[in-house]
Structure 1
Amino acid sequence: MGDDAAKYHALFDRMAQGAFFQSADGALTDVNPAALEMFGLTRDEFLGRTSMNPDWRVIAEDGSELPPELHPSMVALKSGRPVLDFVAGVFNPQKRHFCWFNLNAIPMFHPGESSPYQVFVTMHDISCHKRLNDIHLSRINLMQYADAHTLEELMVEALDEVERLTESSIGFYHLFDAASKSVELRAWSTNTLQRFCGIEDRDRHYSIDQAGVWVDCLHLGKATIYNDYERLRHRKGLPAGHAPVVRILVMPVKRNGEVVAILGVGNKATDYTEADVRTVTLFADLTWDVAQQKQMQNRLLAKTEELKQANEFLEQRVSQRTADLQAAIRERESFSYSVSHDLRAPLRHISSYSSILIEEYGQALPYEARTYLDRMRGAANQMGALIDHLLELSKVARAPILPEPVDLSAAAAAILQMLQETEPHRLVCQEVEPGLTVHGDAHLINQLLGNLLGNAWKYTSKTPFPRIAVGKSTVSGEEAFFVTDNGAGFDMSYRGKLFKPFERLHGSEFDGMGIGLATSHQIVERHGGRIWGEGTVGKGATFYFTLGG
């Protein structure tokens, strides 16, 4: 047993994925080196802590503070159920910023006991992926914001976004006139104006010879980082009321080879890096392009004679923005696949190492240890299935629609026959109204029927005299197709959860991932229709759908 424990700890310590154990009283009892590096803590600092320790700074995916009782490990300990694919940010004291993790908390039980005695938590660092996703979302939001706001509001909004993404507390955007070699002070972030900068005379032009080190990027023609402002020998000091400067990153905005503006951020808690330069570059260019567009619109609206030119220009800009948006969406999809791929590797490791332990050392392991390994392997397989279903849902959202006439009656009959063949011992009354036809994508409509009929088949499995029917009726003056059954049904007070991914209205008595109805909803929406359900607990359910004519 001593050798087995040593091998287990060697495996635990060498995992690339972070992992730790937390006991039922909330105390952290063991941790591997990968997790300590992710948290930025020593082993002595980590062990013995609880989730209630005030030194923890944890935030939810939306940036709000995450209370200790909602930490994945605490939820798993209290509920006795796994918490999977939970995203949270944890402050790393060594890096002095929040790192983002995807966490899974698996409760562990002694034989015969219903309350877990500890929880096993694994974690994967997704900080880089989340940063990339946040940048693309912010750019899309900024483009949408521009449509309904003034140029001044747009520039402030852009500075607020880039300030947030670079974790800075100062942000400014100033224009540069190459002919006069002067800089026009133009815009500041909300935070800069409200908390830091008290200069009254902001509407000023600076000759670049008079300005401070923030115009060095004009001389160098590229982004400039000063992470130790106080030690700069050529700094000229700050005017009265100016915010104190600790660090600064300034970026020249170029068009046709000429510098037209400067975007700067300052006073990040840690040093600026090349990653910050890339973020600032994206927003500097986008802000200039959108600002230029708004200025052009304002001028063209005042000149009726040039309306045609304005329309042509706007069409070009809309096309460009559409291309940008599509590129951003593709990058988000790529991000989703990348996360899924990165998650699969540690899952395979967990499953394969568990299998190796069972196959090679199963006879030497106590029954309790084999049970834990089986649970670990089962949890890994379940998460793999969740990833597959997420990708399936994403695929439906991207699949091209190829409309054609579809025989809905024939498709439904074929699906029911297939279901009957999988369970030939079941006697199910099947009724399919003849002559049902629709115009839509044959593959997606077959997938829609497969999901609805598959649910009906599943939820009538415990019904003495099961019945499933497919037909068409008029509901509130609207023609709609329906799939109905007399199975388990559902409580209508929960109908708002029917079409949300991974929301299930039944317990473990019926298997499933809770993705079928979400996929059906996507398919119907992509056809311009709608779908809804009606049900009664113990008396069955009916799902209606339209396909936009």
Structure 2
Amino acid sequence: MGDDPAKYHALFDQMAQGAFFQSADGTLTDVNPAALEMFGLTRDEFLGRTSMNPDWRVIAEDGSDLPPERHPSMAALGSGRPVRDFIAGVFNPRKRCICWFNLNALPMFRPGDSSPHQVFVTMHDISSHKRINDIHLSRIRLIQCAGVHPLDELMVQALDEVEKLTGSAIGFYHLFDAATGSVALKAWSTSTLERFCGIDDRDQHYSVEQAGVWADCLRSGKATIYNDYNIIPHRKGFPPGHTPVRRILVVPVQRNGEVVAILGVGNKPSDYTETDVHTVTLFADLTWDVAQQKQMQDRLLAKTGELKEANELLEQRVNQRTADLQAAIRERESFSYSVSHDLRAPLRHISSYSSILIEEYGPALPYEARTYLDRMRGAANQMGALIDHLLELSKVARAVISPEPIDLSAAAAGILQMLQETEPHRMVYQEIQPGLTTQGDVHLVNQLLGNLLGNAWKYTLKTPFPRIAVGKTTAAGEEVFFVTDNGAGFDMSYQSKLFKPFERLHGSEFDGVGIGLATSHQIVERHGGRIWGEGTVGRGATFYFTLGGRCEHEVTAAGDVAR
């Protein structure tokens, strides 16, 4: 462990990665807090266990149970060789769900020994990445199913997919007729029909007033979660043949401002969350669209054989869209896995091995050698920050846009206040035009303003009397917002590189990785708008943007505010 156990434990405990040691006999001997959080265990519950402990529930990437001898730590101990980038799911008793990890196991040897005396394992949580990939694959299967199966089977397939993604045991899809205020029981998942719902009359119609709590989303028009069914005051009893419900999540499908259907899942082992709402909403909308397309196709086929050519064209378009979706998903999968595996793996190794070198041989190393190791770890941290920014850029491309009114003036004031609080010694003159409003996704627009104002704050660092302004002007007859400063500026001959990832127009005198403006460009494009920049070296820069519609506050030209 080195000559300074206290220093070793401090470093070990502060690692952002989960890490633990396992001895040659399979006993878990040490663990850091990050790993305990990932496993959902206390230190006392973890230490002393072996891979043979029956409380472990570990599954392979294909969903099959993973035998103890195939656990990465045991495989490394048995073979004496490292096990790298092993994907496995482990049941977390606190979260009551399977969490997915990427694990690396490094066997450790004493001098002269041919067999390892222990193994050092590092791990990081990839549950969110795996969930995104699973959703994409489920959508592909559903679209493929639409081409070869009747509508009823398609509905069941959709419910089976959303059940699997949410870990639920119940799934149902009902149609709603706003004119009559009635709900038609349309489809149930396979497991619901087999295990939970033995009702004889499955073609029954309900009025909303007669329906149970699962119809609350019809009344509110919003997703409804009940994680403890028994405490709901307005719950009703279950009809004969229906198994009791413990938890339920129901989301409405809306078209043209009206609810047309609902999709519900139930009896998940743990509480439903907003992540589940996102997943179920996605499949509810997709199921409706595919079902509508399927019904249209069936009507066309029923009319006359002369429509065969039109049907073949429709099939061709569905297949082409499926191929396009698969290609896009493969590209995003490749990017996500490159970031989370190919890029992060060498960083983990650099950080782990440099830490081991410092701990094991630190006192014996010259000062310059320790300095080089510190620089190595600093470079790894910088690369980690770059990866985080790349993932943020990827998230913007996948984010669901939820437009709502936004007070840009208030948002800009809040961001500048936060920047001022981080550097209270700086005196920056700030001017924000009042009454700037627009429509857009609140989270993404705040991120856009944060990037632009953060750049303005950063590039006025060396300006004697720094000044930042936010306002609105008119360009080519179109009203646009702007963020301007009197900082370092940029050479307009490099304007074409402004919004490309990694293209930085300044050297190391200013921090950054060259992702912020690329992310801003992506956000503006997702809103159907435009963004561009103008600047002069040493005299500042101005960035203009629109968000797909007119600005809502009449003002004068930019010169009245910005200059």
TM value normalised by structure 1: 0.63
AA at the equivalent of 1:183: V
Partner residue in 1 for 2:222: 222
Partner residue in 2 for 1:197: 197
Cα displacement string for residues 5-28 of structure 1 (whole angstroms, at most 9, x for unaligned residues): 211111111111111111111111
In structure 2, how many angstroms separate the alpha carbons of the residues matched to 1:312 and 1:181?
Answer: 37
Alignment map for 1:500-539 (pairs within 5 Å): none
In structure 1, how many angstroms separate the alpha carbons of the residues matched to 2:175 and 2:80?
Answer: 59
Q: What is the SS of the residue equivalent to 1:8?
A: helix
AA at the equivalent of 2:364: G
Q: Does residue 289 of structure 1 match 2:289?
A: yes
Residue range with higher mean Cα deviation, 233-242 or 349-358: 349-358
Q: What is the SS of the residue equivalent to 1:168?
A: coil
When residues 354 and 47 of structure 1 are mapped into structure 2, their CA distance, relative to the original with a 3 A threshold, is closer
Q: Does residue 81 of structure 1 match 2:77?
A: no
When residues 311 and 146 of structure 1 are mapped into structure 2, their CA distance, relative to the original with a 3 A threshold, is closer
Partner residue in 2 for 1:91: 91
Partner residue in 2 for 1:62: 62
Q: Does residue 165 of structure 1 match 2:162?
A: no
Partner residue in 1 for 2:233: 233
In structure 2, how many angstroms separate the alpha carbons of the residues matched to 1:15 and 1:176?
Answer: 52
Cα displacement string for residues 317-346 of structure 1 (whole angstroms, at most 9, x for unaligned residues): 555444443433333233223313444543
In structure 2, how many angstroms separate the alpha carbons of the residues matched to 1:244 and 1:266?
Answer: 10
8 A contact 1:89–1:100 mirrored in 2: yes
In structure 2, how many angstroms separate the alpha carbons of the residues matched to 1:104 and 1:274?
Answer: 31
Partner residue in 2 for 1:353: 355
Q: Return the offset for 1:67.
A: 0.9
> What stretches of structure 2 of length at least 5 have no aligned partner?
388-563
Partner residue in 2 for 1:505: none
Q: Return the offset for 1:359.
A: 7.6
Partner residue in 2 for 1:248: 248
When residues 354 and 22 of structure 1 are mapped into structure 2, their CA distance, relative to the original with a 3 A threshold, is closer
Partner residue in 2 for 1:177: 177
AA at the equivalent of 2:352: I
Alignment map for 1:258-337 (pairs within 5 Å): 258-304=258-304, 305-307=306-308, 310=311, 317-318=318-319, 320-337=321-338
In structure 1, how many angstroms separate the alpha carbons of the residues matched to 2:362 and 2:113?
Answer: 28
Q: Return the offset for 1:294.
A: 1.9
Partner residue in 2 for 1:534: none
Partner residue in 2 for 1:395: none
Q: What is the SS of the residue equivalent to 2:20?
A: strand
AA at the equivalent of 1:16: A
The percentage of counterpart residues that share the same residue type is 69
TM value normalised by structure 2: 0.62
AA at the equivalent of 1:257: G
AA at the equivalent of 1:29: T
8 A contact 1:61–1:87 mirrored in 2: yes
Partner residue in 2 for 1:398: none
Q: What is the SS of the residue equivalent to 1:328?
A: helix
In structure 2, how many angstroms separate the alpha carbons of the residues matched to 1:193 and 1:346?
Answer: 47
C-alpha RMSD of matched pairs (Å):
2.8
When residues 139 and 226 of structure 1 are mapped into structure 2, their CA distance, relative to the original with a 3 A threshold, is same
In structure 1, how many angstroms separate the alpha carbons of the residues matched to 2:345 and 2:14?
Answer: 17
Alignment map for 1:91-130 (pairs within 5 Å): 91-130=91-130
Cα displacement string for residues 237-287 of structure 1 (whole angstroms, at most 9, x for unaligned residues): 221221211111001112232222111000111111110011111111121
In structure 2, how many angstroms separate the alpha carbons of the residues matched to 1:126 and 1:343?
Answer: 13
In structure 2, how many angstroms separate the alpha carbons of the residues matched to 1:222 and 1:338?
Answer: 35
In structure 1, how many angstroms separate the alpha carbons of the residues matched to 2:48 and 2:332?
Answer: 42
Partner residue in 2 for 1:28: 28
When residues 176 and 342 of structure 1 are mapped into structure 2, their CA distance, relative to the original with a 3 A threshold, is farther
In structure 1, how many angstroms separate the alpha carbons of the residues matched to 2:255 and 2:326?
Answer: 22
Alignment map for 1:334-345 (pairs within 5 Å): 334-340=335-341, 341-345=343-347
The number of residues matched between the two structures is 372
In structure 1, how many angstroms separate the alpha carbons of the residues matched to 2:98 and 2:360?
Answer: 38
In structure 1, how many angstroms separate the alpha carbons of the residues matched to 2:64 and 2:3?
Answer: 45
Partner residue in 1 for 2:141: 141
Cα displacement string for residues 203-246 of structure 1 (whole angstroms, at most 9, x for unaligned residues): 11111111111111111112111112111111122212212111
Q: Return the offset for 1:357.
A: 4.9
In structure 2, how many angstroms separate the alpha carbons of the residues matched to 1:121 and 1:360?
Answer: 22
AA at the equivalent of 1:346: R
8 A contact 1:133–1:335 mirrored in 2: no
